[in-house]
């Protein structure tokens, strides 16, 4: 590489970054890495643990003991508001104006958001969550419950954690950013959520807006580290389970960080121009694996159990959404599972919400919320029904000892999928497909996550520089691998809880901002009976219908 080209790339990097937002994100990541390097080992309950891991655990314990109510109420408010957007009059508002057509077909639009929103978590927790609850219990079933009752409660809680609540957090970010970007000319930044309060023209120079962008970077770092850590842990567990090769702490750090950086480099340097095709491969393998498992497994049992679990999930949705526990055991379950998931979705919301906003020009708010919550849930639930139901059936019948693998300290919950697929007909083929899915999701997660954090630190630039993405590839790989080393799955959950809370607070402000914005224009536009709601008519200040703020920026998402 010539010196002039190198200088050009460095100059591009310097010009594109927001110094405050980028600097804050790098400082937090580097501080975490240094803290791990110098942190001593302490004894806790007879075990030797890293002091940093203990401090993270203590902070997390305080949060779920004292602030579970905040995470639970925030998510329920988000769900209620997105439901109102689907059925209420504001759903008719169109992003970009009445005459703008969507850039993507419905199926393409759905697939793009589903892939960006679900990340790698569905691969990790698909075969893991329901069977884990089956072996360890949930607040819905006591220790003396029948096997079927335990299965039903386990699947119900799995649907609850991965259903409409998960996706609602993304809409709270995506809808207002898309509206203000395409209808008011605002930038694709997380701080655009403050537009109703500070004004579009003041977002660039507002210190409050800068602080909100820093919150987005902080939260996204936790969400990315959690996702990369889960899928990296699953990849290493697969190698150990299938090949018998064990990774130590240093090997874990080098492998997860190295693979993240390699795939980041391959994408940004143009070596691997097939990343979009790889994303399509993800969906194909994902659907193929689910269909095959359903057919060769226990289809009628899965349908019967899953149907009842969907019913109880819908029936008890509000009660589960506000359940904080009737005892210390329940409180621990809510903190380790429900609060963790809600915080994880909050942490991913800045990136996934901005991505949703960028691809939604020409669609009404009703379309966006329906696709973003209802359609995605209808796609997620069958996967957990099939894989979770099949794993519990195999365990209960003695056809596979999946819980034995989970409880084995050499493997843990990250290896739960491998004994499941091995126990089915054509087990070797299914295990190979699953391992391929883990690898491809790791690649696409590394690509999308480094892109997302780079965008947030450049004020929303669609194509951040190679150097910017490389920096975040290294930092995120290190942070994710260190979390795996100091606490495994538990530490990854704790990181999400800690970083997701501030994003939820901004989300509540965004809900109020949307109510304020839409109500101030809704009454004025719909005073005439039968009047059509035009996205460009909804602008405060009454822009002319011929003006389309935000330009023609949606063609290249």
Distance between CA atoms of residues 452 and 473, nearest Å? 11
Confidence of residue 266 (pLDDT cuts 50, 70, 90): low
**Residue 443 pLDDT greater than 80, yes or no:** no
Q: What is the pLDDT of residues 535-554, one digit of tens each?
A: 444 333 333 333 433 444 33
Q: How far is CA 388 from CA 118, 133, 305, 385, 439, in A?
A: 17, 10, 10, 5, 21
Distance CA 486, CA 492 (A): 10
Query: Tokens 């929303």 appear where?
Result: 460
Angstrom distance (rounded) from CA 84 to CA 72: 19
With a cut of 70, say whether residue 355 has pLDDT above it: yes
Query: How far is the CA of 328 from the CAs of 72, 324, 325, 335, 491, in angstroms?
Result: 17, 10, 7, 11, 20
- Of residues 327 and 11, which shows the higher confidence score? 11
Backbone φ, ψ for residue 146 (5° rounding): -70, 165
**Nearest of 259, 162, 169, 177 to residue 219 by alpha carbon:** 169
pLDDT tens track for 115-131: 777 756 788 888 899 99
Q: Which of the residue ranges 72-86, 149-163, 388-402, 537-551 would you say has the lowest mean pLDDT?
A: 537-551
Using DSSP's 3-state secondary structure scheme, residue 48 falls into strand
**How many percent of the chain have pLDDT more than 90?**
30
> What is the spatial distance between Cα 474 and Cα 29, in angstroms, rounded to a whole number?
10
Exposure string of 15-47, with b = 16+ CB inside 10 Å and e = fewer, is ebbbeebbebbbebbeebeeebeebeeeeeeee
Greater confidence, 486 or 136? 136
- Are 226 and 489 within 8 A, CB to CB? no
Q: What token pair was written down for 61?
A: 């314990």
Torsion of the alpha carbons at 342, 348, 352 and 353, rounded to the nearest 10? 60
For the cut 90, the answer to whether the pLDDT of residue 313 exceeds it is: yes
Owner of token pair 């390097």: 37
Token output for 102: 């969507």
386 to 130, 298, 309, 379: CA distances (angstroms)? 11, 9, 12, 12
3-class state of residue 49 by DSSP: strand
Q: How far apart are CA 226 and CA 320, in angstroms?
A: 24
In sequence order, which residues have a C-beta less than 8 Å from that of residue 385 and are 6 or more positions away? 155, 159, 302, 305, 306, 309, 310
Number of Cβ within 10 Å of residue 310's Cβ equals: 16
Which residue carries 């101030």 as its tokens?
520
Q: What is the mean pLDDT of the chain?
A: 82
More confident residue, 99 or 158: 158
Integer Cα distance of 51 and 178 in angstroms = 43
- Give residue 506's pLDDT: 94
Q: Residue 484 contacts by C-beta under 8 Å, 6 or more apart in sequence? A: 229, 232, 233, 252, 256, 491, 492
Q: Are 65 and 333 in contact (CB under 8 A)?
A: no
What pLDDT was estimated at residue 179? Answer: 93
- CA-CA distance, 472 to 429, in Å (whole number)? 35
* Element of type H or E holding 41: strand 41-44
Cβ atoms of residues 152 and 133 within 8 Å: no
Q: Residue 335: is its pLDDT beyond 90? A: no
What domains can be seen in the chain, in order of their start residue?
15-40+106-515 (1.20.1730)
Over residues 136-160, the pLDDT tens digits come to: 889 988 778 899 999 999 999 999 9
Would you state the structure tokens that stand for residue 313, as one six-digit string? 């999930």
Instruction: Report residue 6's pLDDT band, with 50, 70 and 90 as the boundaries.
Output: confident
Region class of 550: left (phi > 0), else alpha (psi between -120 and 50), else beta: left
């Amino acid at each position: 590489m010539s010196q002039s080209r190198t200088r050009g790339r460095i100059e591009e990097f310097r010009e594109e970054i927001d110094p405050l937002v980028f600097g804050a994100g790098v400082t937090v990541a580097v501080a975490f890495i240094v803290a791990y390097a110098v942190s001593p080992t302490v004894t806790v309950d007879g075990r030797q643990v890293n002091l940093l891991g203990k401090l993270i655990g203590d902070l997390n314990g305080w949060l779920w003991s004292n602030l579970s109510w905040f995470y639970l109420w925030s998510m329920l408010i988000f769900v209620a508001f997105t439901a109102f957007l689907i059925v209420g009059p504001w759903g008719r508002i169109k992003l970009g104006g009445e005459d703008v057509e969507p850039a993507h077909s419905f199926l393409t639009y759905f697939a793009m958001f589903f892939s960006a929103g679900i990340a790698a978590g569905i691969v990790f927790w698909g075969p893991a969550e329901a069977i884990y609850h089956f072996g360890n219990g949930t607040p819905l079933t006591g220790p003396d419950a029948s096997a079927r009752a335990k299965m039903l409660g386990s699947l119900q809680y799995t649907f609850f954690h991965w259903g409409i609540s998960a996706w609602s957090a993304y809409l709270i970010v995506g809808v207002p950013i898309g509206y203000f970007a395409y209808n008011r000319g605002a930038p694709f930044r997380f701080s655009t959520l403050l537009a109703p309060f500070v004004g579009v023209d003041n977002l660039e120079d507002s210190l409050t807006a800068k602080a909100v962008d820093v919150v987005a970077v902080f939260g996204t770092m936790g969400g990315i580290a959690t996702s990369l850590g889960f899928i990296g842990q699953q990849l290493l567990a697969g190698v150990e389970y299938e090949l018998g090769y064990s990774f130590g702490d240093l090997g874990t750090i080098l492998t997860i960080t190295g693979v993240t950086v390699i795939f980041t480099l391959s994408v940004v340097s143009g070596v691997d121009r097939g990343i979009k095709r790889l994303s399509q491969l993800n969906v194909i393998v994902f659907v193929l694996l689910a269909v095959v498992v359903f057919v060769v497994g226990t289809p009628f049992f899965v349908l019967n159990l899953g149907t009842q679990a969907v019913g109880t999930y819908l029936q008890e949705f509000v009660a589960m959404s506000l359940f904080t526990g009737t005892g210390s055991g329940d409180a621990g379950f809510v903190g380790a599972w429900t609060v963790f998931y809600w915080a994880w979705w909050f942490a991913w919301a800045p990136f996934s919400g901005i991505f949703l906003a960028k691809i939604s020009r020409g669609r009404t708010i009703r379309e966006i919320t329906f696709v973003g919550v209802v359609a995605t849930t209808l796609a997620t639930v069958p996967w957990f029904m099939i894989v979770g139901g099949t794993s519990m059936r195999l365990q209960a019948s003695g056809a596979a000892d999946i819980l034995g693998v989970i409880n084995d300290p050499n493997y843990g919950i990250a290896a739960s999928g491998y004994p499941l697929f091995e126990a089915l007909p054509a087990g070797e083929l299914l295990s190979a497909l699953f391992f391929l899915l883990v690898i491809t999701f790791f690649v696409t997660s590394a690509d999308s996550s480094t892109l997302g954090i780079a965008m947030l630190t450049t004020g929303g630039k669609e194509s951040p520089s190679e150097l910017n993405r490389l920096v975040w590839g290294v930092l995120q790989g290190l942070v994710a691998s260190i979390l795996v080393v100091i606490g495994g799955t538990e530490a990854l959950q704790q990181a999400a809880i800690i970083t997701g809370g501030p994003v939820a607070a901004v989300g509540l402000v965004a809900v109020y901002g949307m109510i304020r914005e839409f109500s101030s224009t809704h009454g004025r536009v719909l005073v005439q009976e039968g009047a059509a709601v035009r996205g460009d008519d909804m602008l405060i200040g009454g822009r002319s219908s011929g003006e389309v703020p935000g330009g023609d920026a949606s063609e290249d998402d």
